[in-house]
Amino acid sequence: MRSLILTRILPPNGSYRAAHGVEGCGASSREAAWSGVSETTQRTVTARWVVPLTSLRDSLRTKRFAALRCVRGSVTALGWQDTYKDQVKATALRKSIPICTFLVLLLPACSLFSPEPVSSSFETMGTRATLTLAGKESSKLSGAADKTKQLMQDLNAELSVYRADSAVSRLNAVAGVRPLEVPEHTRRLFELSKVYGELTSGAFDVTIGPVVDLWRPVKGQTPSLPTDDALTEALARVDFRQIQLMDGAAFLARRGMRVDLGGIGKGYAVDLAWRECRNLAVRNFMFDLGGNVRVSGESESGLAWSIAIRNPFDRSATLARIEMPDDWAVATSGQYERFIEIEGRRYGHIVDPRTGYPAAGLAGVTILAPNATMADALSTGLFVLGPKRSIPIVKKTGAEAVFIPDKQPAELWVTPGIRSKLTVLIPAKVQVLPGW
Ligand code: AMP
Ligand code: MG
Atom of ligand 1 nearest to the CA of 377: 3
Task: Say what percent of the chain tops pLDDT 90.
Answer: 65
Give the pLDDT confidence of 162-199 residue by residue, as tens digits: 999 999 999 999 999 999 999 999 999 999 999 999 99
Give the pLDDT confidence of 236-248 residue by residue, as tens digits: 999 999 999 999 9
Q: State residue 71's pLDDT score.
A: 37
353-390 burial, b for 16+ CB within 10 Å, e for fewer?
Answer: beebbbbbebbbbbbbbebbbbbbbbbbbbbbbbbeeb
Whether 376 lines ligand 1, by a CB cut-off of 6 Å, is yes
Q: State residue 179's pLDDT score.
A: 98
Looking at every residue in the chain, the average pLDDT score rounds to: 80
Q: State residue 113's pLDDT score.
A: 52
What's the rounded Cα separation, in Å, for the pair 272 and 368?
Answer: 17
Q: State residue 133's pLDDT score.
A: 96
Candidate ranges 62-66, 147-151, 299-303, 335-339; pick with highest mean pLDDT = 147-151
Average pLDDT rounded to a whole number, residues 365-393:
98
Cα-Cα-Cα-Cα torsion 94, 95, 98, 102, nearest 10 degrees, comes to -30
Average pLDDT rounded to a whole number, residues 123-128:
95
Give the pLDDT confidence of 37-87 residue by residue, as tens digits: 444 444 444 444 443 333 333 333 333 333 333 333 333 333 333 333 322
Q: State residue 296's pLDDT score.
A: 98
Q: At CB < 8 A and 24+ separation, what contacts does 293-298 make?
A: 293/324, 293/329, 293/330, 293/331, 293/372, 294/270, 294/327, 294/328, 294/329, 294/330, 294/371, 294/372, 295/324, 295/326, 295/327, 295/328, 295/329, 296/326, 296/327, 297/134, 297/326, 298/134, 298/326
Amino acid at 268: Y
Q: Do domains 162-259 and 304-436 have the same CATH topology?
A: no
Strand partners, 128: 123
pLDDT category at 383 given cuts 50, 70, 90 is very high
Separation of CA 248 and ligand 2 centre (Å):
25
**Apex 253 CA angle, 247 and 259, nearest 5:** 85
Supply the Cα-derived Rg of the chain in whole angstroms: 24
Whether 347 lines ligand 1, by a CB cut-off of 6 Å, is no
Least Cα distance to 156 among 144, 169, 174, 145 occurs for 169
* CATH class of this structure's domain 304-436: alpha beta
More confident residue, 9 or 436: 436
pLDDT category at 221 given cuts 50, 70, 90 is confident
Whether 206 lines ligand 1, by a CB cut-off of 6 Å, is yes
More confident residue, 95 or 372: 372
Q: State residue 45's pLDDT score.
A: 45
29-53 burial, b for 16+ CB within 10 Å, e for fewer?
Answer: bbbbbbbbbbbeeeeebbbbbebbb
pTM assigned to the model: 0.77
More confident residue, 20 or 148: 148
In order, the DSSP letters of 52-104 are --TTHHHHHS-HHHHHHHHHHTT---TTEE---SS-----------HHHHHHH
Mutate to test the pocket of ligand 1, among 243, 260, 350 (most ligand atoms within 8 A of CB): 350
Choose the weakest-confidence range: 99-108, 130-139, 379-388, 422-431.
Answer: 99-108
Average pLDDT rounded to a whole number, residues 128-132:
97
pLDDT category at 227 given cuts 50, 70, 90 is very high
Whether 349 lines ligand 1, by a CB cut-off of 6 Å, is yes
Task: Say what percent of the chain tops pLDDT 70.
Answer: 74
pLDDT category at 434 given cuts 50, 70, 90 is very high
Separation of CA 252 and ligand 1 centre (Å):
19
pLDDT category at 114 given cuts 50, 70, 90 is low
CATH superfamily, domain 162-259, is ApbE-like superfamily (1.10.3980.10)
Q: State residue 217's pLDDT score.
A: 80
Residue 311 in this model has a pLDDT that exceeds 70: yes
Average pLDDT rounded to a whole number, residues 281-294:
97
Nearest CA to ligand 1 atom 15: 350
Separation of CA 373 and ligand 1 centre (Å):
13
More confident residue, 289 or 98: 289
More confident residue, 26 or 125: 125
Check if the beta carbon of residue 367 is closer than 8 Å to that of residue 400.
Answer: yes
Question: Which residue ranges make up each domain of the chain?
Answer: 6-113, 162-259, 304-436
